[in-house]
A and B are shown apart, each in its own frame.
Chain A
Amino acid sequence: MFILRFLLRRLAQGALIIFLVSALIFTLLRVVPGDPVRLMAGGMAPEALIEEIATDMGLRDPIPVQFTRYMSGVVQGDLGQSFVRPANGAAVGGASFDDSTRSARAEVWDLIADTAPKTIQLACLAMVFALMIAIPIGVWGGLHPGGWPDRIALYTSSVFVSLPNFWLGIILALLLSVKLKLLPAIGYGGFAWTILPALVLAIEIAPFIIRSLTVSVAQIMGQNFIEIAGVRGLSRSQIIFRHGAKNAAVPLLNLLGVQFSMLLGGVLVVEFIFDYPGLGLLTINAVMQRDFPLIQGIAIVTAAAFVLINIVVDLLSTLIDPRLEY
């Protein structure tokens, strides 16, 4: 009952956010230079043909008109069609001006639906790795504020954050894939292909989790109920893992929710480096090709994902800590 009302309110707010984001991105994409029709039709196409195609596609209508048309599609679950991609989903280069002979263009929704699961798999695994790296270091640091573990946490995060992900990607691929032949690195052929990119992503996010954990664990371990728990007869492991961990989980969850967009930025580069056929690679190609419907679609879907993730985060936070206002 309560959760339902909370969900309704947050989803309504989320819809508003998505609407705002769509409007903003829609407008921005239409003022940015780089005529998509030029890219669709190819560099050699004459101006008149460009204008004709653009007018046909409604790209010369006023932006509000275009936006209204677009949003009415979005509401019905139609994110439009890619400007440049054929239905088979290949990333294509613009070389032909004879656009009329293009085979059917791909539905944006299908392109996203095809790639998103792989990215979700990658992101989840990355998160698992990141937590596996960050929790021991961060908690240990938080349990000894000012001591060596705290410093180790600090230095580890300094080093990790200084590693550019495309540098790290190459090094890890060389080491784990080329030299040791432990893991496949490039493309996607099954779960094993996710491990290496996830590791790179994990190292990228881990410093922030470490930092957040050291701070929140230290803060929680200084609280009265933790101090008194030993006097009440609870064992140290009970105190740390049941009470400390549970209380530290709330700030951690919030961090993860907020860092979502950062994760997406990382996914972009990592997927490109590893040629991992996920949403990130799709985004890079869409950006490179000025595939506006696709960029818009991705933006809307990620905004929606962000909204949903944060609703889940808030819901989980309130489940963990019922004091939080719904």
Chain B
Amino acid sequence: MYDQTGLPPVLEVEGLCVGADLPEGMKPILQDVSFSLRPREILSVIGESGAGKTVLARTLASWLADPLKVTGGSAKFRGTDLIKDPAAARKLAGREIAYVGGNPAGALDPTMTVGAQLVEKLRAVRPEIPAAEAKQKAIELLDAVRIPSAAQRFHEYPFQYSGGMMQRAMIVDALISDPALLIADNITQPLDVTVAAQILKLMRDLTGRFDTAVLFICSSLPVACDASDEVLVLNKGRVVERQVPERLISAPQHTYTAQLIRELPKLWDGTEAAPAEERGEPRPIMSVRGVAKHYTAKNRAQGGTNVVQAVRNVEFDVFQGDNFGLVGESGCGKSSLMRLLTGLERPDAGTILFEGEDIGSARPARIRELRRKFQLVLQDPYGSLPPQKSIGAILEEPLKIHRIGDRRERRERARSVMSEVGLSETLYEELPNGLSAGQRQRLNVARAMTLEPRLLIMDETLSALDQTEQHKMLDLFERLQAQHGFTYIFISHDLAMVRRVCSRIAVMYLGETVEVAPNDRLFFDPGHPYSRALLSAAPTLEERRYRPEDCLLEGEPPSPIDLPPGCAFASRCPQAFDRCRSENPGLTARGGRALAACFLNPRRGEETAQTTPETTHA
């Protein structure tokens, strides 16, 4: 694959060094980075967080902010040295060198329509193109990235786009000026697996069509291998390896790469035993029965309000000491369900029993008391900590809230949980803003732990961390569980993580639990076509049990506003038949304590979920 085009390279990086100019001296970030890139080539850059991937991307996009400075080397774009001639580099930026970031949400001016900004950008870098033509090109490209009814969407505002659509729009923004080089910095990280897979596919199509070279920055090895022609491994600011994916996996040259591959969670690898369910007398700590929640949203177009069915027919039990997984894509109702489980909101129907008490109908004061026993660890390591409070104060806050202990006792407790989660006690008076994402999540966990709860709900707690950090956190969770007997609910979109830690897993789609099954059963014998689609899209280096071509369908889930009458998945299901479109299958036992909501499963009698053995304890 290398050199296959025979064209001269677009980008030649030679001995590039970048450092951070700090008061205490120059701290090297990138050291002696060299590589070249040819048209139509996709080069992945991989490495753990802090390896300098983003700094590399930004250096090439002329977007280095203080205190970062290039300290040596060159980066030639078609012969122009971007380092020596910053003015020329800035002229190229946006025109020949396009950059797409990993945070599409804030990337466009919220007060202008997406279309207008695409046209604006194109005409900024290529003023010779008339407005009408620019508009036409933008719509064509929006269409090319499979944004539905692109001509209409052209006139919509960024906030009207979903995350996946925004990311695609940003790709359009980058490609609209026909750049020779596209720098894609972590573009799939915030996306759901099915969407990410679509985007990757799209990117490959487009490079072929426009002769674009792509520098693909990525923190997930499977995604990188999937996406690119070659992979560049960056470790502590140095290039340690450059290989085609197959060779990289089969014969990693560098120890770091080897470790990366080793630590990669496997979905179907039987060598590591999946966590087994508690046997014997399982006692549910939390039982969810027929829970539903809807929201009303204003309809801007026609006036009036729409009813959004965020959560419907959710059923499951979580057993004492268990690790329960709740998976699904964004918009599937996981977050709404989390708010219900934690008593932040009350369900419209159904019951949520925590140790036999209904959270859904308890008095607010009682819920506050119960909160000592179940705690939530939030997803965003940055937004979930109160700003401007010291770490010590954050940890003591729950104790103050529940009026536990005196000043000294609280301080001791805070220090002890800090050491338990692996935070240095010297950080007690510090602000969290100096902490890394992993440290912050430790802090979050520590905060949840101070009250010594029975149940911890982890809402995407690990999804913002890189693979190495995730690994360490999971070890921490295991240790804590062993020490304190916690029960965990992991809400996640990361199948690999769930596969590693959870004993039972519920799959949600459009507000419903479509499948609840033990770990092995779900991965080896999923009972719902949607589960199979998820598995097919999961990033992995293994050979897939489910081929995306068979399971993965184009498009996004239907809007939860006007749900079809039958099975919600029917519109995307390759196996859907008439009954699916008229009747909702409901969770049905399929033996081995597994349930699925699909008519394709052989019925064992007419048992419904409510009468399965696991629920009889409730």
Contact = CB atoms under 8 A, between A and B. Distances in A.
A250 B121 CA distance: 23
Interface stretch (A104-112, A124-132, A226-234): A226-234
B111 A247 contact: yes
Contacts of A230: 62-63, 90, 93
Nearest to A249: B111
Contacts of A247: 109-111
A233 B157 contact: no
B109 A246 contact: yes
Interface string A212-237: 00000000000111011111111100
A238 B103 CA distance: 22
A59 to B, nearest CB: 48
Contacts of A320: 111
B101 A228 contact: yes
A234 B159 contact: no
Nearest to A229: B109
A323 B108 contact: no
A228 B108 CA distance: 8
A232 B121 contact: yes
Given A230-B63, A231-B94, A5 B303 contact: yes
Q: Which of A233, A234, A322 has the most B CB atoms < 10 Å from its CB?
A: A233
A225 B303 contact: no
Nearest to A220: B109
B493 interface: no
B94 A321 contact: no
B110 A234 contact: no
B107 interface: yes
Contacts of B99: 228, 231-232
B110 A323 contact: yes
Given A2-B300, A323-B157, A323-B159, A233 B110 contact: no
A1 interface: yes
Given A2-B303, A233-B125, A238 B120 contact: yes
A322 B111 contact: yes
A246 B196 CA distance: 33
A243 interface: yes
A243 B124 CA distance: 14
Contacts of B303: 1-2, 5
B589 to A, nearest CB: 46
Interface string B344-375: 00000000000000000000000000000000
Nearest to B303: A5
A21 to B, nearest CB: 30
B106 interface: yes
B173 interface: yes
B458 interface: no
B62 A235 contact: no
Interface in A240-268: 242-243, 246-247, 250
Contacts of A232: 93-94, 98-99, 121, 124, 173-174
Contacts of A5: 303
Nearest to A233: B94
B519 interface: no
A326 B299 CA distance: 11
Contacts of A243: 109, 111-112
A228 to B, nearest CB: 5
B327 interface: no
B110 A231 contact: no
Contacts of B109: 225, 229, 243, 246-247
Q: Which of A224, A238, A325 has the most B CB atoms < 10 Å from its CB?
A: A224
B111 A246 contact: yes
Interface in B262-308: 298, 300, 303
A235 B125 CA distance: 9
A239 B144 CA distance: 28
Contact of A246 (B63, B103, B112, B124): B112
B177 interface: yes
Contacts of A229: 109
A223 B106 contact: yes
A234 B62 contact: no
B572 to A, nearest CB: 30
Nearest to A1: B303
Given A5-B303, A246-B112, A224 B107 contact: yes
Nearest to B105: A224
B61 interface: yes
Contacts of A325: 298
B106 A233 contact: no
B76 interface: no
Contacts of B101: 228
A321 B110 CA distance: 7
B601 to A, nearest CB: 44
B124 A233 contact: yes
Given A232-B94, A323-B157, A238 B124 contact: yes
B440 interface: no
Contacts of B120: 234, 238, 242
A313 to B, nearest CB: 15
B454 interface: no
B111 A235 contact: no
A234 B94 contact: yes
Contact of A231 (B62, B103, B112): B62
B93 A233 contact: yes
B310 to A, nearest CB: 20
Given A1-B303, A238-B120, A233 B95 contact: yes
A225 B166 CA distance: 13
B352 to A, nearest CB: 31
Nearest to A321: B111
B124 A234 contact: yes
A243 B107 CA distance: 12
A231 B177 contact: no
Nearest to B94: A233
Contacts of A323: 110-111, 157, 159
B384 to A, nearest CB: 20
A250 B303 CA distance: 24
Contacts of A1: 303
Contacts of B90: 230
B576 to A, nearest CB: 37
A225 B108 contact: yes
Contacts of B157: 322-323
A230 B86 CA distance: 13
B106 A225 contact: yes
Q: Which of A1, A250, A321 has the most B CB atoms < 10 Å from its CB?
A: A321
Interface in A171-202: none
B123 to A, nearest CB: 10
Contacts of B125: 233
A1 B110 CA distance: 23
Interface string B117-140: 000110011000000000000000
A229 B444 CA distance: 34
Interface string B558-602: 000000000000000000000000000000000000000000000
Contacts of A321: 110-111
Nearest to A223: B106
A223 B63 CA distance: 15
Q: Which of B101, B112, B177 has the most A CB atoms < 10 Å from its CB?
A: B112
A323 B109 CA distance: 11
Interface string A292-326: 00000000000000000000000000001111011
10 contacts: A224-B103, A224-B107, A231-B94, A232-B98, A233-B177, A234-B94, A243-B109, A247-B111, A250-B111, A323-B157
Rank and list the top 5 A-B pairs by shortest CB-CB distance, nearest first: A233-B94, A224-B106, A233-B125, A321-B111, A243-B109
Given A228-B107, A321-B110, 10 more contacts: A227-B63, A228-B63, A231-B94, A231-B99, A232-B173, A233-B94, A233-B121, A238-B124, A320-B111, A325-B298
Interface of A: 1-2, 5, 223-225, 227-235, 238, 242-243, 246-247, 250, 320-323, 325-326
Interface of B: 61-63, 90, 93-95, 98-99, 101, 103, 105-112, 120-121, 124-125, 157, 159, 173-174, 177, 298, 300, 303
